[in-house]
Structure 1
Amino acid sequence: MRITQSMMTRQTIQRVFINRDIMYQTHERISTGKKVNRPSDDATAYARIARYEKSYQRNLQYLSNVQYSRNWVNETSVALDKLQDYASQAKAIALKAVDASNDDDSRQVYARQLRGILEESVSTVNAKYLDKSLFAGTNTKNSTPFVLNDLTVTYTGNDEKIKRRLAEDMVSEINTTGQRVMDTGFFQAMETMITALEANDIPAIEDTIDDMQTAYDAVLNLSGEVGSFHNSLSLIENRLKDANMKLEEYLADDQDVVLEEEFVRLESEQTAYQAAMQSAAKIMRLNILNYM
């Protein structure tokens, strides 16, 4: 087949466009920092990158849930530790009160101290995290789930659990309800102890010491459960962070360009493009001369 001048012209111009497109693709990789910007660049890699990014974003949401849960549980733990300390203080006061060297006036002073501890205890279990009541169940807008009326504490929240998805196959209950706090017997023991002190009833005071010890142990156990869950959340958080670090590595392997290599490639492509342009210009001039 005879190669005509017009065929040479078309081939040369086609080469110019091809070289231009290759150069533009390199420009795009440099500007975006990505090897793959659309499915046509590499369909397999593009699909793989999409899966990695979806997993990465999902893990970020799980991490956000874990961090929220951990902060919630940490505040719960702080409140329970305080309640445990109040139980210890109350028991110590009662032990002093039953000493024979104390009289009725002294026991009234101790009773007033216990009333103060009771008020502080109620304030503690009405604690909030991000303006949500920690111990109100799902009724987190209830600002005072524990109500103190003289010596009696009433719980007005519910016994429902707050749940958070912490992984694809894991939904955890993050809250400790106020009913569980009530079930420790702490507030009942406080009421009985103060009543006995105000009545100057030494045998009754002695009985309440054992009740308060039982309440202390119950709060300690509850606090231990919360602490154990807090540790589990830390492990989950670390696993999610490790998973995302690996995903970042996979994404970098499939997606990130090496700029130094791209600039070298661009320089070579620019040279090829300029050469193609010069060839096209020469052929175009020859064509014009042939018609003169």
Structure 2
Amino acid sequence: MRITNSMLVSNYMNNMQRNLGNMSTLQNQLATGKTIQRASENPYIAVRTMQLNAEISANKQYNSNITDASNWLDTTDTALGQANNIMARIKELSVKAGNGSYSENEIGAIKDEIVEKVKEFGQVLNTSFDGNFIFGGSKSTSKPVGVDDNGNISFIDKNGNPIDMDKIKDVNDPNKIVYDQISSSLKTEISQGVTVEYNKTAVEILNYKDSKGNDTSVINTMSDLVKCLGVASGETKGTITLSDGTTTINGSDDALKYISGKMTEDITAIASNVSQIRSNVGAMQNRMESAKTTNEDQSYNMTSILSNTDDIDFAEKTMEYSILQTVYIATLQTSSKILNKTLLDYM
């Protein structure tokens, strides 16, 4: 086949343009640090990069969820520790009052301190974190409980009004709705498809089983304790009926006997319930720590894979660019010798 001068020129121009194109690609890669600039250059890398970026973004959200839940649980653990300390003090005071060696005035002072401790217990149940009441369930924007001046605890609605516990069996009653909100669990997603509960509620803390295994509540127990102390201190006269509707207390001796017996047992059961809840919170904290470690490992691995997929090796690309630049210069030098000269070269 006859090779003409125009063919030489055409081949030369094609090769030079190809070389310039390769140099341009490498320049863009060196400038951006990325393997491709648009999806059409390598659809597989483009799709893989988008998938990895989406997974990394989701993992960041999971990490944020884990951190928020961990902080919530830390606050819960601290509050439950305070609740246990309060119950320990109430038990200590109840034992003192029940031993029969204190005067009515002294028992009255014990009663006053216990009322203050019950109020303090209510404050613990209204502990907030980041603007939310941690024991309020889904009703976390308002306090779950209230305590009056006499130490009576009650669940309250968003306006601070006590709910009627006799009406919580009616599913359509507003009191039932508020109660269910307070008792509801909060959940968060810590990895793909893995959702965990991270809260404890005032309902769990205030409801417990007594020494005989019967369901009862801190609300009734504290109310009965204060009533008995009122009788023992002489502040309340006559016979009183306790929260169960059947137990009656008649006189100081009867009150002190009940305090040293049933009341002390119930307070011990309350403290045990709080301790059990705190133990569950500790297990949740451990799970969150494990989840955070796993999350951080996954983030590191995915970031490494993304870098290997999408990022260039600067040393390698710099060497490639240097080689192409050398080839380009050599091409220009060679072309000046093999391409025909024009008349201008002789002028």
* More off after superposition, 125-134 vs 167-176: 167-176
1:186–1:216 CA contact under 8 A, matched in 2: no
Specify which structure has the higher proportion of helix.
Answer: 1
Matches of 2:146 and 2:346, distance apart in 1: 103
Structure 2 unaligned residues grouped into runs of 5+ = 157-177, 209-216, 233-254
> Residues 1-292 of structure 1: matches in 2 within 5 Å?
1-142=1-142, 144-149=143-148, 150-156=150-156, 157=178, 158=181, 159-184=183-208, 185-200=217-232, 201-206=255-260, 207-279=262-334, 286-287=341-342, 289=344
RMSD of aligned residue pairs (Cα, Å): 2.4
Q: Aligned AA for 1:30?
A: L
Q: Aligned AA for 1:88?
A: A
Matches of 1:192 and 1:288, distance apart in 2: 119
Matches of 1:288 and 1:22, distance apart in 2: 33
Matches of 1:70 and 1:50, distance apart in 2: 30
2:86–2:121 CA contact under 8 A, matched in 1: yes
Question: Which string of whole-angstrom CA distances, capped at 9 and with x for unpartnered residues, describes residues 137-193 of structure 1?
Answer: 112211x22111232111135222222122222122222222212213334333322
Structure 1 unaligned residues grouped into runs of 5+ = none
Q: CA deviation at 1:90?
A: 0.8
Q: CA deviation at 1:283?
A: 6.9
Q: CA deviation at 1:196?
A: 2.0
2:100–2:256 CA contact under 8 A, matched in 1: no
Work out the percentage of aligned pairs sharing the same amino acid: 20
Q: CA deviation at 1:96?
A: 1.9
1:19–1:269 CA contact under 8 A, matched in 2: yes
1:189–1:215 CA contact under 8 A, matched in 2: no
Residues 286 and 180 from structure 1, CA distance in 2 versus in 1: closer, same or farther, beyond 3 angstroms?
A: same
Matches of 2:290 and 2:202, distance apart in 1: 27
Matches of 1:228 and 1:73, distance apart in 2: 10
* More off after superposition, 57-66 vs 185-194: 185-194
Matches of 2:294 and 2:105, distance apart in 1: 59
For residue 250 of structure 2, what is the aligned residue in structure 1? none
For residue 173 of structure 2, what is the aligned residue in structure 1? none
Q: Aligned AA for 1:194?
A: V
2:33–2:311 CA contact under 8 A, matched in 1: yes
* More off after superposition, 80-89 vs 41-50: 41-50
Q: CA deviation at 1:261?
A: 2.2
> How high is the TM-score relative to the length of structure 1?
0.89
Q: Secondary structure at the match of 2:258?
A: helix
Q: CA deviation at 1:215?
A: 0.7
Q: Which one has more relative contact order, counting CA pairs under 8 Å at least 6 apart?
A: 1
